[in-house]
Amino acid sequence: MTIVDQVHALLFVADSPTKLDQLAVALNVTEGQIEQAIEVLESHFAQAGPVQLVRLAGGIQLSTKPEYAEILGAFLKPQRQRMSRSLLEVLAIVAYRQPITLGEIEAIRGVNSDYSVRILAERHFLHELGRKPVPGRPVLYGTTQQFLHQFKLNSLDQLPAPVPEGYELPALPGPEG
């Protein structure tokens, strides 16, 4: 029973991303040893089989490789929740500017965003971080672990920087391509 096998076993039963320190504590080894074991596992999975290691939401989790998506999608028939342009837009703003109030989101977008924020909170992409110490004490929103997980992000640092105002965006190809 090597550390590699033990780490594999823990990741196999974990139902969410597991942090290195959690693994180290569970197996009573150093985080460095866990790192090494993870590397071995990673190359082992890369060689063969449908399983891979992914780093997301600040932890490590086993998943199937993307090339199995079609078969698995047909087998599990997951209900993919569609996300409208405005939901994505609000999510992008919160991800980048958190903690942020509804009023501040609306100031950026120039439209009522109450509905989008509520839906995103219901889907556990956003949650309340506290209240802003200004009159009215409005709720401050931030993104959740679930957000990182659903967008395959390991941390918020991976988000690209927003393009500053006034900067000309390269035109997107029109419908005529």
Q: Does 23 bind other proteins (CB under 8 A)?
A: no
Using the rule CB under 8 A, which residue among 29, 83, 121, 129 binds other proteins?
83
Q: Which residues from 38-57 bind its own copies, rule CB under 8 A? A: 48-51
Q: Which range, of 70-78, 103-111, 154-162, 163-171, touches its own copies by CB under 8 A?
A: 70-78
Distance of closest approach, residue 133 Cβ to other proteins, in angstroms? 26
Supply the DSSP string of the chain, one letter for each residue.
Answer: --HHHHHHHHHHH-SS-B-HHHHHHHHTS-HHHHHHHHHHHHHHHHHSSSEEEEEETTEEEEEE-GGGHHHHHHHH---PPP--HHHHHHHHHHHHH-SEEHHHHHHHHSS--HHHHHHHHHTTSEEEEEE-SSTT-PEEEEE-HHHHHHTT-S-GGGSPPPPPTTPPPPPPP-TT-
Does the protein bind other proteins through residue 49 (CB under 8 A)? no
Check binding of 145 to its own copies (CB under 8 A).
no
Contact positions vs its own copies (CB under 8 A): 1, 5-6, 8-10, 12-14, 26-27, 48-51, 62, 64-65, 67-68, 71-72, 74-76
